[in-house]
Structure 1
């Protein structure tokens, strides 16, 4: 594995760094707390309004500029206002390009009265987009085991929920939610995992997210099938 964190070796309470990671917050906090059952400790994230709170892997070096990631996560509530409220749980970037790649995130779609997972991007040639799909509803208040694969061979992002590939969510060089330009990965050197909501005055006004059992590897980590 390129990286592992289950928070079990960290002291309980507010946390600003761990082994191989730092934090990035604005109107948000990160706290190591006891997990339920036999899961040891977990990371609890709380943000107010359109705040953010991420654990940041600042010095990534990915073989072939590709990676498999797995984590367990639980979002207490997703936004129900404003319309099209947009949230991100994972964001990968590289210092050689402005393009942000958001393998885990989604939007509140008033047309379908729900929150839906979608891969997205911003600041690159393809613009600001989140390719959410109604086939992938975001379920609040339950633990999910989530995986994503960043594959540089075709600038492809693949998402798996509880062990099942969500093929509707896949984006790639020519097949994405942005402009007619090609979607191209930066040379990844940073990964942020946590929560950010972009719109002001959302409902609910605060957000609680739990993260655990994070792993990055050159191969699929797995462990998500129930």
Structure 2
């Protein structure tokens, strides 16, 4: 099968260090440092700046990867992991400053660090370069999770509402809604199935191959 250069990964081009992963590394360290400093100094503005660095850097590393033609699966996985580190740094810092947000933040982190992480890493089971191209596998899952509106809802809505309203119950409702969305997406993903080797179609052959060899 011919590789589609705009969607499919190229094993020969896979490498850790590219201009895009350099941006990922810088924004991850900078955002985490600002959030840790904000938590230590009990400064909400520093936490918000750290969140902004994470969001802007996340958009920038993707733009650099596409512009310079250095999109790799290694870079996509690194980006996903760093997103979760930066999100954890901000939200745990926020709970340190505002303990009343513990429940909504706990719900959101479970959704983002566990369920969404599994969904996002599922692209590795196919040949696409990153979740951004998951529409080639299932357009509905992609639209809900990695289209531009999907990303905005999944990443920004919770933080913005929690900061603007200062109402933990609003955050809890949004986090619960996102968790439901992710669980529905997970159900769709499991219905598709991951491309794993099929079992033998012949049960007798399978049982024979698994039977112990006779002893002398």
TM-score normalised over the length of structure 2: 0.27
Between 1 and 2, higher relative CO (CA 8 Å, sep ≥ 6) is seen in 1
TM-score normalised over the length of structure 1: 0.26
Bigger strand share: 1
Bigger helix share: 2
